[in-house]
Structure 1
Amino acid sequence: MPFVGAPAAVAADPKPLRLPVMPARLDADADCTGSSAQRATTVPWEQQRLQLTRAWEFSSGSWVTVAVVDTGVSTAAPALKGRVTAVGQAGEDCVGHGSFVAGLVAAAASDGVRFAGVAQRARIVAVRGTDARGAATAASVAAGISAAVQAEAEVIVVSPALETGSAQLTAAVRSAVAHDAVIVAAAVPDPPAKSGADQETPAPRDYWPAAQSGVLSVLDVGADGGRPDDALLPRGADLTAPGDGVIGIGPRGSGHFIGSGASFAAAFVAGAAAQVRSAHPELTGQQSAERLVSTAYPDTVPRLDPYAAVTAVSAPRSDRAARPGTPDRQVPVALPADAGSRPTRRAVLLAAGGGAVMLLVAWAAVVVPRGRARRWRPAGSDISPEPGGEV
């Protein structure tokens, strides 16, 4: 019997659904993100891809606390009712991005709605890692991670991906690792990270805190397993998860939004980490992170598999995760181009200023190609991040 109400698996709805786009940040003069009048009444492609219905039969994230380091998490979001504890003013979410991420982690299922979070019974700690409009700095993210540690979160998901780190941020991550938390972070910034199709795509590089040892770095992919050919790339990533055109909740109301970015992919991994920690409380944070990587589908960058992570019989072998500096982490990450995702990305770019852009979404379900890449760097390593796995 499932632990929680789980939407039955259904065929993709041939009718497209119009949803407003969730912005990554707001312009100074933009209104706060409101509610959506549309609801997801069919199973989103990302839930089908992750086989969440199967995973829910074994774990729903009960008794696990997940900290969301983002724009805040609205305590008014019905899908998270009664399960959000806010640090300071983080219970207010003007942008809506943090609420969207928290919903991917832990939104409860409801009648007539096919969307639900990965760990529907997990508890959420809302922590600000940005200012009220969504702008982040190394100092603000470090403060957010430190607050999550103080709140005794067992899983910490960090949405901002910064071009530069700091000693304070490094110390905050090390503290979280020392307190046995699983730390999950976006491998690259959410769009719009670069300003226009006429500009050259930057070379693969590190983004922080994802590049730091002890952090699970997550890259986003679309329904066909690819990414836009102009998408930002990290030097390495541990896992991929759905992150292009995914469905989530808003800061208020029962309607849904659509969004794209690595922060949303990180949310799926954080939800899976909560499932693992709930089903296997005997595992440490490091062992839980290793389990997520070692049970992932082999691919250019391993693909998250929540069901396998929760149900794998044997404990993960630490030697299955590559150590810092090993040969399979010496080439930058490269994934197949995803031309079909460009309309979604463009809509997200338009929405970044806080406008109510409407996007036409058609559900898709395609098989993702296979390969291998960088593995999770174990906690405690002082070696600087190396380029990613061989393609």
Structure 2
Amino acid sequence: MGLALAVAAVLPVTGGPAFAAPEADGPGATLLPPLPVRLGEDNPCTGASEQTATGATWSQTALGLSRTHRISRGGGVTVAVVDTGVASGVPSLSGRVEAVGGADEDCVGHGTFAAGLIAAAPEKGSGITGIAPQAEILALPGTDDRGVPSVARVADGIRTAADRGARVIYVGQALRTGSAELTEAVAHAGRQDALVVAPAAPDAVPREELGPGGKMPEGPYWPAAAPDVLAVVDFGPSGVRQNNAPPAHEPDLSAPGSEMVSVGPGGSGHYIGSGASLAAAGVAGAAALVRAYHPELTAPEVTRRLLDTAYPSDIPRLDPYAALSLIQDRTTAPAPTPAPAHMPPATDPTPHHRALTIAAVGLTTVLLLAALAAVVPRGRTRNWRPPTPH
């Protein structure tokens, strides 16, 4: 039996907040089918969902997409999706998907779901939209048709995406092996100025990969652990991860990833899913928004901008509106060194002393004349005469 996410949520059919609470059997309520993570050998391919969510999801509100899209919608940016494939014929992605290596078929549905989170355009009768609804999608296989990833497929997908000009590369898988191969593939993408985004934890752990006593592995996971990869972990409507989620390994950024709603591999219906890989899809979409609005920024600068403008938390939380709207100029030029003061040479004091002497003599003369002018007239009025010598 295939592994599937056990979470499902009730969505209103006629507007209102996405997960606000009509009961499952109440009027106007729809239960969305869960998104598979992998398929067992005998499981049929995931089909089109017959249920449609009409209201905006909690994640769209949390990320402020209504105002974010007034600034950027990701137009002109190609986002590669290295995953289970991206199905052709999904209306909200119509005309914006190019597939390589048979990735236009998606038996599992995970890659199509992630592509919808990244770039789905709103459809009539539905409030669901991707983060970058005008971005282009380049689909590449990172798994087999059952959703089982391999190091070789993921590494080749990253390299091919970079060579084909993708500016953002989303990897939907978290692998426990492949350090050298995936690190080199990421380095190749970096040389092409492509930003790689990957989950810092798997969405689910197969039984055979559990440790003693059923303990979940703690990573590291690849390619998220490689240098220059933006490693992402999920949180839910309450602001925390699900209790049973696999532990994340050294995430850089967190984003909505629980109770996410997106398209399936056919038709206009929707699925619901949870996991770090879905949070990473949202971050890839946000990176596309930034690269469209600030085409001059390099991949490391886009990463820095997303991290610097994130909402402060134990793990910083993605804030695409802030990444687009905040003015950043963190390059502070060093303060100019003041020029040394040049004191003029000391002047010869002789003229100064001479001037003081002349002024003193002049003042004395003036005072003496003033005194004589006062005394002499008084002496005359008193018939003053100089004394005669005897």
Q: What value does the CA root-mean-square deviation take over the aligned residues?
A: 2.0
TM-score of the superposition, structure 1-length normalised? 0.76
Cα distance change, pair 125–315 in 1 and its aligned pair in 2 (3 A): farther
Judge conservation of contact 1:220–1:244 (CA < 8 Å) in 2: yes
Number of equivalenced pairs: 310
Q: Distance in 1 between matches of 2:306 and 2:228?
A: 13
- Counterpart in 2 of 1:287? 301
Matched, 1:238 2:252: yes
Q: Distance in 2 between matches of 1:138 and 1:31?
A: 25
Matched, 1:274 2:288: yes
Cα distance change, pair 299–193 in 1 and its aligned pair in 2 (3 A): farther
Matched, 1:89 2:111: no
- Counterpart in 2 of 1:155? 168
Q: Distance in 2 between matches of 1:299 and 1:146?
A: 33
- Counterpart in 1 of 2:316? 302
Aligned amino acid, residue 231 of structure 1: A
- Counterpart in 1 of 2:182? 169
Judge conservation of contact 2:182–2:226 (CA < 8 Å) in 1: no
Q: Distance in 2 between matches of 1:37 and 1:303?
A: 33
Q: Distance in 2 between matches of 1:316 and 1:93?
A: 43
Matched, 1:262 2:276: yes
Higher relative contact order (CA 8 A, sep 6+): 1
What is the Cα deviation at residue 316 of structure 1? Answer: 5.6
Judge conservation of contact 1:46–1:223 (CA < 8 Å) in 2: yes
Aligned amino acid, residue 304 of structure 2: E
Equivalent positions of 1:1-40 (< 5 A) are: 11-12=17-18, 13-15=20-22, 16-40=29-53
- Counterpart in 1 of 2:200? 187
Cα distance change, pair 46–267 in 1 and its aligned pair in 2 (3 A): same
Q: Distance in 2 between matches of 1:251 and 1:173?
A: 28
Aligned amino acid, residue 161 of structure 1: A
Q: Distance in 2 between matches of 1:212 and 1:167?
A: 9
2:60 to 28, 47, 64: 47
Question: Greater share of helix residues, 1 or 2?
Answer: 2
TM-score of the superposition, structure 2-length normalised? 0.76
Deviations 1:177-235 (A, max 9, x none): 11111110011111245579x95543633100001110000001111111233322233
Matched, 1:225 2:239: yes
Q: Distance in 1 between matches of 2:65 and 2:215?
A: 34
Bigger shift: residues 261-270 or 309-318 = 309-318
Q: Distance in 2 between matches of 1:317 and 1:253?
A: 48
Cα distance change, pair 125–203 in 1 and its aligned pair in 2 (3 A): closer
What is the Cα deviation at residue 17 of structure 1? Answer: 3.1
Judge conservation of contact 2:38–2:108 (CA < 8 Å) in 1: yes
Cα distance change, pair 297–18 in 1 and its aligned pair in 2 (3 A): same
Q: Distance in 2 between matches of 1:250 and 1:316?
A: 42
Structure 1: 5+ residue runs without aligned partners? Answer: 1-8, 319-391
3-state SS, counterpart of residue 98 of structure 1? helix
3-state SS, counterpart of residue 190 of structure 2? helix
Deviations 1:263-304 (A, max 9, x none): 100000000000000000111111011101110000010000
Q: Distance in 1 between matches of 2:131 and 2:53?
A: 16
Structure 2: 5+ residue runs without aligned partners? Answer: 1-14, 23-28, 333-390
- Counterpart in 2 of 1:374? none
Aligned amino acid, residue 317 of structure 2: R
Judge conservation of contact 1:291–1:315 (CA < 8 Å) in 2: no
Aligned amino acid, residue 155 of structure 1: V
Q: Distance in 2 between matches of 1:317 and 1:17?
A: 51
Cα distance change, pair 116–199 in 1 and its aligned pair in 2 (3 A): farther
Judge conservation of contact 1:290–1:316 (CA < 8 Å) in 2: no
- Counterpart in 2 of 1:339? none
Q: Distance in 1 between matches of 2:48 and 2:330?
A: 42
- Counterpart in 2 of 1:68? 81
Judge conservation of contact 1:201–1:232 (CA < 8 Å) in 2: no
Cα distance change, pair 210–93 in 1 and its aligned pair in 2 (3 A): same
Deviations 1:87-110 (A, max 9, x none): 120011111110000000000011
3-state SS, counterpart of residue 264 of structure 1? helix
Judge conservation of contact 2:200–2:233 (CA < 8 Å) in 1: yes
What is the Cα deviation at residue 43 of structure 1? Answer: 1.0
Judge conservation of contact 1:218–1:265 (CA < 8 Å) in 2: yes
Which structure: larger Rg?
2
3-state SS, counterpart of residue 285 of structure 2? helix
